[in-house]
Amino acid sequence: MPGELESIAASLEGQVSKGKKYQLISVKPQRVVEACKAVSALPGFYHLSTITALDLGKEISVYYHFWRGREFFAVRANVSKDNPSIPSVTAVLPSATLYEAEVADLFGVRFEGNPMTGRKLLLPDTYPKDAPPPMTREADPEKIRKMMGLE
Amino acid sequence: MQLLTFPGLTFFVCVAFLFEWLERKTAARMQGRRGPVVTGPFGILQPVADFFKLTSKQEIIPEFSDRFVLRWGPPLYFAAPAIGLAFIPVVGLTPVLGHPLDLLFVLFIFSFSALMATLLGYASAGRYSTIAIGRLVLQYTGFEIPMILAVITPSILAGNLSIEGIVAAQGSIWYVLLAPAAFAVFIVAALAELEKPPFDIPNAKTEIVGGWMTEFSGSTLAYVKLTKNMSYVFLSALAVALFLGGPSGPVLTQSVLAQEALFSVYFLVKLFAVGFLIFSIRTALARVKIGQATRLFWTVLTPLSLLQVGVALIMR
Amino acid sequence: MGEMFRTAVSPPVTEEYPFGPAVVSERFRGRLDVDPVKCTGCGVCEIVCPASVITMVPTGKRKVGEREIEVKKPVFDLYTCISCGQCVEDCRFDALWLTKTFELAVFDKQSLVMKKALTVGK
Amino acid sequence: MSEATGSEKREAGAGLMEYSPEGLMPFGPVHPALKEPEYFKLTLEGERIVDVAPRIGYVHRGIERAAQDRTWVKNVYLFERICGICSFAHSIAYAQGVESLTEFVIPRRAKYIRLVIAELERIHSHLLWLGLVGHWTGFETLFMWIWKDREHVLDQLEAITGNRVHKSFATFGGVRKDLPEGIEPKLAQATKFVRERVKYYRQLMESEETLVVRTKGVGKIDQNIARRLCPVGPLLRCTGIERDVRVEDPYAAYDEIVPEVKTQTAGDIASLLALRLDEVEESCRLIDEAMEKLPKGDYKVLFPRAIPSGEAMFHVEAPRGELFYFVKSTGSTKPERVKIRTPTMANLLTAKEMLKGHTLADVPVVLTGMDPCFGCMDRITVFDPGKGKEWTVRGEALRKYGIEYYRRRAGS
């Protein structure tokens, strides 16, 4: 139903944009938990599909994907690369634990309050601490390989 | 000499290899596969090839394991069924090693081989082995009592504590007909002793990898596996001796040699029949959990075998 | 249990592969093959190949009108080939096709480099 | 080495063994029950499981990153290799996601063919799992039988697509080849055969005592847990929640051939078995119906190499559950970002919950009750940038490395 998302967006100081088969609410990182809670409480929604992160250069945008029927919905928040920190939604959506851990490993985004913070899920234990996270644009496979002593 | 060759060690090692081949082949056929085909006619030499392949492999002993036990354990473990088999009559009604009380010794062999398995698994100091040993001991305490009761039943019926006497007493009727429950209990307990499905709990490979044999390799593994096959033969042979009349059968010739050959043939036919029964059951069932197995042993098998003993006492 | 014995007497399902023939279907995609005569060296296959099997190697020069252009022919590193058939689909000259051969295990990787196309059209 | 030092070492080893009542037990990364490397650290109390800590990432192949360096069409073949079992689900999810960015209309025949292949794949995946249940519970015969019957389905897949596993059949704008001539009777025969066998297996699974005790009441989850942890696919449907992407958001030809959503209520492994058997039957019905209604016409439309810019999300019902793709294009010949969320990732948390309180003997069957595909789940870390580098370690070098490694360990 149109209007639902607009009202959510209005209450959270966000904007709604529409794509061909999906609608997107962009909010500030601090409001992400409220936004996810509001979207997942709408009738017909039932789960968080996944969390995607996208490297935009100076910022990392984090998508929370939901769906209902033939429509997709996403909540988007942009965090800066200098201090990539975003509140965790695991309190309202426990299923986000692993998705958040995955994004944290690969993009270096810190999810404040995620139970898996500080534990590696995907990356090898030998992954160097000072290397950029592997999926960001700065990551150079050759350099990382050298830092890991694989060369 | 007889101990080492014909109805002795060499003979039974060959039978053990044959048993493994037969087990693999029947299981494969029942599952729609071919089974071993490469080595020898119908792959009959495959177990032998496997054995020699394993002996030629490097042996890796885990760092924290007890080398002393690992070195001397396998021969002792192998000795248990090998000596036990000497008490089974094959060529005639008299076994190679006979003793008026040899049934008790056979019961001791069961305990001894379980003890050796425990010791070997424990000495190899692996995590999976440790868990497997816990399971093995639990399973052993479960099946030992029904097994002993099942073994005692024919001895009560025959009024004799030697295998020779029991075999001789079955001249007219086999005890499998007089005490069918004891035979069934014996077969189930044998499956548990041999760690075959549905009681392959101590070496359930999808749970605890190789069970108590996880850390073995090379020739140790080869001998342990051979021993398991020997126990297979031993238990089947014991079932034949106690319940199926041993090598006895119609006497056809006067010649002693020919009659001995005939007895051996009778014995082997019965032996493979029992073996076939065991591997049919093995192929048809899924593995149970240790709790379920113990419950089965204590609530079904033990009362059943006790009842059978009672019936046997009345029948006498 | 009954099913078990029924299976036991029915013929086995397993193919006797290394000792008998292995049957593959009509559309099976096996080893890539090339017709060196038909290949013009256009290089489309190099562009579309998802596994980077194909590299174009210069084999000589050819005069087209005034200009001299380099003639290139494909070399196939079949050890990385995933037999997807994309190159076959995109080849406008029908110079490529997938055979039904699948026994491609070799001891030396280099023996799977196919330089057939280089031999013709120099 | 004298015996004394040996026993000393044994003393030292006792610490490693952790004889404490709460024992740690590794399940993986290499374990006979797991077909792919994954590590689960089990905390045991005797045989009972207290806690499970998954550690994934042993088979990372860097596919999401690699996708950014390849053209759109090449990625079809790349994504297909994420998973060996549901390769077609991956390729159509990606292809349809990309198609939804453009204005192209896919021919109806192509949609039907996609449905047929997807359902054949579902049958073979479910049969594979059912057989593996036999393997995990120690019932090798069931395993062999079901896999024997699965061959019939794989043969059809090979006849249609040219390969049993990596079908390389979907492409943008349709499928790459039309159905071969004379496939209809063969397909009908295969579905009939599978249905008969399913009937037999259903009866077997209800009557075979050892199998029943191993699966009934094991790995139970209720609807509340399912709603909270959001598993997908059969794991969700076995608790009685009716969710199926094929019905709710029809792709391919599922809007014309509507599948019936099968559910079970018990939420244990036995109900998963029954559910998957039901779904196999349903898939057979769908294939039959699709072959009957199969429209004539093109099986493919031509597609451009560059995709208009935009973001697209797409999901399909893979055999294991909802498979999610997010595609971002900037209008070039290569994707800007592709995010894949495989069903196993969504189910992992639930499996962890299912395991708690069970015994070690239940681990393989419960853990794999979700039909895990760890290869799908791990995709990203180590990647090979382009061609020209060989990461082969020669045997001699490997041996040297091993010797050095042990020397270092002994020294430390």
Number of B:C CB contacts under 8 A?
Answer: 27
Q: Cβ B127–D17 below 8 Å, yes or no?
A: yes
Q: What is the rounded average pLDDT for all residues in chain B?
A: 79
Give C30-119's CATH code, choosing from 3.30.70.3270, 3.40.190.10, 1.10.340.70, 3.40.50.10070.
3.30.70.3270
* Interface-testing mutation among A17, A24, A50, with chain D (most D C-beta atoms within 10 A): A50
Chains linked to A by 3 or more Cβ pairs within 8 Å? D
| Chain D closest-CA separation from residue A83 CA (Å) | 22
Q: What is the rounded average pLDDT for all residues in chain D?
A: 76
Any domain includes A147: no
Mean per-residue pLDDT, C33-45 = 82
Any domain includes A83: yes
Q: Cβ A98–D64 below 8 Å, yes or no?
A: no
Tokens standing for residue C12: 């086995």
| Chain D closest-CA separation from residue C15 CA (Å) | 11
Tell me which residue of D180, D183, D207 sits closest to D273, measured CA to CA: D207
| Chain D closest-CA separation from residue B179 CA (Å) | 26
Q: Which chain D residue's Cα is nearest to A122?
A: D57
| Chain B closest-CA separation from residue C25 CA (Å) | 22
C-alpha D245/C-alpha D232 separation (Å) is 10
Confidence of residue D389 (pLDDT cuts 50, 70, 90): very low
C-alpha B64/C-alpha B43 separation (Å) is 39
Confidence of residue B15 (pLDDT cuts 50, 70, 90): confident
| Percentage of chain D lying above the pLDDT 90 cut | 0
Domain of A32, CATH number, reads: 3.30.460.80
Q: Which chain C residue's Cα is nearest to D163?
A: C28
State the pLDDT at residue C16: 67
Residues of C in contact with D205 (CB under 8 A): none
Tokens standing for residue D196: 């008969």
| Chain D closest-CA separation from residue A121 CA (Å) | 5
Q: Average the pLDDT over each of A68-77, B30-39, D193-202 and give the range with the smallest value.
A: B30-39
Confidence of residue D21 (pLDDT cuts 50, 70, 90): very low
State the pLDDT at residue D271: 85
Determine the structural domain holding residue A85 and report its residue range.
4-120
| Chain C closest-CA separation from residue B148 CA (Å) | 29
Question: Which amino acid is located at D291 in the chain?
Answer: M
The string of pLDDT tens digits covering residues D309-327 is 888 888 888 888 888 888 8
Q: Does D248 touch chain A (CB under 8 A)?
A: yes
Q: Cβ D145–B201 below 8 Å, yes or no?
A: no
Task: Give pTM, 2 decimals.
Answer: 0.81
Beta pairing partners, C96: C34
Residues of A in contact with D374 (CB under 8 A): none
Residues ≥6 apart with Cβ < 8 Å to D252: D92, D96, D111, D112, D114, D115, D118
| Chain C closest-CA separation from residue B189 CA (Å) | 21
Facing A122 at nearest CB: one of D60, D101, D324: D60
pLDDT > 70? residue D46: no
Question: Which amino acid is located at B203 in the chain?
Answer: N
Q: Cβ B29–C12 below 8 Å, yes or no?
A: yes
Task: Give the total number of structural domains in chain D.
Answer: 1
Q: Does B29 touch chain D (CB under 8 A)?
A: no
| Chain C closest-CA separation from residue B198 CA (Å) | 14
Residues of D in contact with C84 (CB under 8 A): 77, 166, 168
Judge whether D124 and D160 are in contact, CB under 8 Å.
no
Domain of D75, CATH number, reads: 1.10.645.10
Residues of D in contact with A19 (CB under 8 A): 310-312
Judge whether B96 and B82 are in contact, CB under 8 Å.
no
State the pLDDT at residue D397: 56
Tell me which residue of D132, D191, D57 sits closest to D364, measured CA to CA: D132
* Interface-testing mutation among D35, D45, D139, D406, with chain B (most B C-beta atoms within 10 A): D139
Mean per-residue pLDDT, A97-107 = 82
- Say which residue the tokens 């039959």 belong to: D288
- Report the relative pairing of strands D321-329 and D335-341 from DSSP bridges: antiparallel
- Say which residue the tokens 């990203």 belong to: D380
- Say which residue the tokens 């000495």 belong to: B123
Q: Does D3 touch chain B (CB under 8 A)?
A: yes
State the pLDDT at residue D201: 85
Any domain includes D36: no
**D273 vs B139, D196, D268, D283, CA distance in Å?**
29, 16, 9, 15
Task: Give the total number of structural domains in chain A.
Answer: 1
Any domain includes D130: yes
pLDDT > 60? residue D70: yes
Q: Cβ D360–B288 below 8 Å, yes or no?
A: no
Annotated domain spans of chain C: 30-119
Judge whether D235 and D369 are in contact, CB under 8 Å.
yes
Judge whether B198 and B170 are in contact, CB under 8 Å.
no
Tokens standing for residue D373: 């595909």
Residues ≥6 apart with Cβ < 8 Å to D410: none
Any domain includes A47: yes
Q: Does B63 touch chain D (CB under 8 A)?
A: yes
Residues of D in contact with C3 (CB under 8 A): 145, 200, 204
Confidence of residue D370 (pLDDT cuts 50, 70, 90): low
Tokens standing for residue B81: 């069924």
Any domain includes A144: no
pLDDT > 80? residue A151: no
Q: Does D108 touch chain A (CB under 8 A)?
A: no
Tell me which residue of D118, D131, D365, D132 sits closest to D250, measured CA to CA: D118
Q: Cβ D140–B283 below 8 Å, yes or no?
A: yes
Q: Cβ A123–D315 below 8 Å, yes or no?
A: no
Question: Which amino acid is located at A31 in the chain?
Answer: R
Question: Which amino acid is located at A83 in the chain?
Answer: N
Any domain includes A140: no
Any domain includes D120: yes
Is the model more confident about D298 or about C14?
Answer: D298
Tokens standing for residue D257: 């051939």
| Percentage of chain D lying above the pLDDT 70 cut | 77
Q: Does D210 touch chain B (CB under 8 A)?
A: yes
Mean per-residue pLDDT, C61-79 = 80
A-B interface (Cβ pairs under 8 Å ≥ 3): no
* Interface-testing mutation among A40, A66, A98, with chain D (most D C-beta atoms within 10 A): A98
Confidence of residue C4 (pLDDT cuts 50, 70, 90): low
